[in-house]
Amino acid sequence: MLRIIGFIALSGALGTGAFAQAARPPAASIAALDQQITQVFREKRVRAYPHVESAYLSLLRSIDTAMSVEDRAAARRHLHYIAMVMAEGDPARPSLERLLASEGGDIEDVVSWWHRQDPLPATQNNERIQEHLARIAYALEHYAYKDHEHGVDDRGVIYIRLGAPIRSKQIKIVSVGIRMNPYSAKLPANDLWEYRQIDKEAHYLFVRSSRHKPYRIGTAEDLIPRELIASRRRVMLLIPIMEEVFAQLALAHPHYGTTYDALNSYVTVPGGTGTSPYQFARRTLNKMRLDDDFYEENRKHIIPVAYTNALHGALPLTPALRWARFLAPDGQTRVEVYWGLSADDLTPTRHLVRRLEGEGHKPTSRYLITFAVARRNTRFATEAIDTHHFVATHGRRLRTQTWSLASASPMIHLAMQWDQRWAYLEDDGNVSAGATLKMGTHSLDSLAALQADPFTLEMSDIKPLSMPPEATFEEAAVYPFAALTPTTPVALYFEVYHLTFGENDAVHYSLEYRVESVKNQNRNPLAVASSHSGMLRTAKEYISLDLSTWDRSEPINITVRVIDEVTGQSVERSIRFDFTL
């Protein structure tokens, strides 16, 4: 028997009140419910988080019935908060935009979007919603700005999007010589946030121009006092202040380094460049503006619109993964998911091991792998979770596993999660779970069911098989990996359905398979064709791959096409590999 110890469940009984109710709250309660939700997260009442999550979704569903000014304002704020973290190209974005414009968007599109954001589908909670609400509560408490429709300044917007920075600092004048200058000006209030855990470009400088203004995302130029930039007489103070500012900025990001080097050289050897101080200052300011514009535009394309910390520092776990659909005799579609983990996939980094040891955890040579699949409905809400546990040994791969589901639904939605923990063998033979090492997720959204019409030719997806020497097709194991070489012993298995009887009461069909370059569409493919006959309307076929003549390392598509020679119908499926010589 396998006994799992050490899992944390955010659940339990809660007292009476709005959060104990699953039903939709009345429209008049939206503003009050909004305040209660915020209060729960400010007080960090963790046991209430799952109930608050449910209440929040009910609040969203009540938006179209909001009548009072307070309710409409609370509803609109939450729509704006969602707009902060929803990508522009997301399918739910048009509905959100129509709701913001009071043009009748479908709030269920937004609720479905929230279901799809769940970072840990194997849990009963949606950690991303809880994280979002916690960030809103924190931002309203620490970065509030009542005159903005969001209720927060730019720091609050970034906090809601990305969470707490890994480091924050203020740029200040620390040089005694500058501070003692009778004409010295103060730098405006500022806050520099760094998110190196997201990307090296993820840093934001917030500047407040006056005590009555909010913090805004600014540039390096916004730190330089206006009166110094506008004065020729104070240029000899302007340059040292710029050097001091950029010395501190350069510690946060290297793109400030070249400007700092230029300023430092000029201060060290004044006039060494043959340029007057005023000309040098103006030229440096102009270059600084160009640099800031470039990096701001670059950041828009690199930094995600939202970032979640729900994985709590665990390393990413990326199993080898394939899936295939098959048609059962009763017309249901059977989805098979194949996954495996190599020894390298399972090995934690030395840095992670040292960190966990420092926290008091004991390393072991065993790992507990938890694999869970969440089945979702048409709105992507979780209906059921299927969980399995495996024990792996350090230095050895976990053999390929197969999970399957038969479904009569026209569209299948699955979300998978893998957790890797240290495993401890107890005296009674049971296994207990230790610290989390790695986590991974993968979604299979909108898998269409196969065609069950007996008069329509249909085909399964392609199932790759590993073919060791002298093995039969029936003995072959699934090959879930992405990489192939000319000597990799791989075969393809697939099934054909609804073939039509022709001459001699037999089915007649032809198979074609071709290997094509994914990147170079003009390259001639490898192609093989063959003809087949049989006495059954369903055919099970194997193809042994021979890629010995493919002479380039590149991604390839292998496409199999089936033609019913009796009816002329055809169907095809493809599978992709990374081919290396």
List C-alpha distances in Å: 328 to 10, 20, 21, 507: 39, 43, 42, 20
Please tell me the predicted confidence (pLDDT) of residue 182.
Answer: 57
To 10 degrees, the CA torsion angle through 140, 145, 150, 153? Answer: -90
Q: How far apart are the first and last CA of the chain?
A: 46
User: Tens digits of per-residue pLDDT, 95-137?
Assistant: 999 999 988 889 999 999 999 999 998 888 999 999 999 999 9
> Minimum mean pLDDT among 44-48, 146-150, 390-394, 517-521: which range?
146-150
Closest listed residue to residue 409, CA positions, set 506, 325, 348, 528: 325
Give 181's pLDDT tier (boundaries 50, 70, 90): low
Chain Cα centroid distance, residue 263: 41
Structure token digits, residue 312? 């709590």
Mean predicted confidence (pLDDT) in 11-16: 33
- Going by C-beta distance under 8 Å and a sequence separation of 6 or more, which residues neighbour residue 321? 337, 338, 339, 442, 480
Please tell me the predicted confidence (pLDDT) of residue 189.
Answer: 94
Please tell me the predicted confidence (pLDDT) of residue 171.
Answer: 93
Please tell me the predicted confidence (pLDDT) of residue 67.
Answer: 73
CB atoms within 10 A of CB 244: 22
Mean predicted confidence (pLDDT) in 41-49: 92
Mean predicted confidence (pLDDT) in 436-459: 95
- Going by C-beta distance under 8 Å and a sequence separation of 6 or more, which residues neighbour residue 356? 363, 435, 437
List C-alpha distances in Å: 242 to 150, 171, 207, 395: 34, 11, 16, 54
Taking the C-alpha atoms of residue 350 and residue 431, their distance in angstroms, rounded to an integer, is: 24
Q: If you write DSSP's letter for every residue of 422-451 in order, what string do you get?
A: EEEE-TTS-EEEEEEEEEEEEEEEEEEPPP
Higher pLDDT, 231 or 263: 263
Structure token digits, residue 356? 């966990």
Global pTM reads 0.81
Taking the C-alpha atoms of residue 34 and residue 75, their distance in angstroms, rounded to an integer, is: 9
Tell me which amino acid residue 193 is: W
Q: What number of residues does the chain have?
A: 581
Give the CA count within 13 Å in the CB-facing half-sphere of 171.
32
- Going by C-beta distance under 8 Å and a sequence separation of 6 or more, which residues neighbour residue 306? 84, 85, 86, 161, 162
CB 333 within 8 A of CB 407: yes
Please tell me the predicted confidence (pLDDT) of residue 177.
Answer: 64
Tell me which amino acid residue 89 is: G
Q: Could you identify the residue written with the tokens 């988080």?
A: 49
- Going by C-beta distance under 8 Å and a sequence separation of 6 or more, which residues neighbour residue 202? 162, 194, 195, 196, 299, 302, 303
Q: Could you identify the residue written with the tokens 């937004």?
A: 110
- Asked if residue 24 has pLDDT above 70, the reply is no
Closest listed residue to residue 398, CA positions, set 388, 406, 390, 409: 390
**Dihedral sign from CA coordinates of 41, 43, 49, 52:** negative
By DSSP bridging, strand 431-448 and strand 315-316 are parallel
Please tell me the predicted confidence (pLDDT) of residue 274.
Answer: 66
Taking the C-alpha atoms of residue 447 and residue 336, their distance in angstroms, rounded to an integer, is: 12
Structure token digits, residue 130? 């809880």
SS3 of residue 258 by DSSP: helix
User: Tens digits of per-residue pLDDT, 498-524?
Assistant: 999 998 899 999 999 999 999 887 778
Give the Cα-Cα-Cα angle 564, 567, 571 (nearest 5 degrees). 45
Tell me which amino acid residue 60 is: L
User: Tens digits of per-residue pLDDT, 409-431?
Assistant: 999 999 999 999 999 988 887 89
The H or E element that residue 192 is part of is strand 189-194
Q: Mean pLDDT highest for which of 164-173, 223-232, 426-435?
A: 164-173
Higher pLDDT, 576 or 13: 576
| Segments making up each domain of the chain, as ranges | 18-162, 167-302, 313-449, 451-581
Taking the C-alpha atoms of residue 378 and residue 394, their distance in angstroms, rounded to an integer, is: 40
Please tell me the predicted confidence (pLDDT) of residue 426.
Answer: 87
CATH 2.60.40.10 matches 313-449: yes
CB 246 within 8 A of CB 220: yes
In this structure, which CATH number among 3.40.390.10, 3.40.430.10, 2.60.40.3880, 3.90.1150.10 belongs to the domain 451-581?
2.60.40.3880
Taking the C-alpha atoms of residue 448 and residue 460, their distance in angstroms, rounded to an integer, is: 12
Q: What are the strands, taking DSSP E only, across 449-553?
A: 458-459, 463-466, 477-478, 483-484, 490-497, 507-517, 526-534, 539-544
Q: Do domains 313-449 and 451-581 have the same CATH topology?
A: yes
Tell me which amino acid residue 261 is: D
Q: In DSSP terms, which residues pair with 390 in a beta bridge?
A: 369
Q: Taking each helix axis from N to C terminus, what angle separates 257-268 and 235-252, rounded to the nearest 10 degrees? A: 140
- Going by C-beta distance under 8 Å and a sequence separation of 6 or more, which residues neighbour residue 109? 91, 92, 95, 96
Taking the C-alpha atoms of residue 235 and residue 242, their distance in angstroms, rounded to an integer, is: 10
List C-alpha distances in Å: 375 to 7, 270, 386, 412, 418: 21, 69, 8, 8, 15
CB 411 within 8 A of CB 378: yes
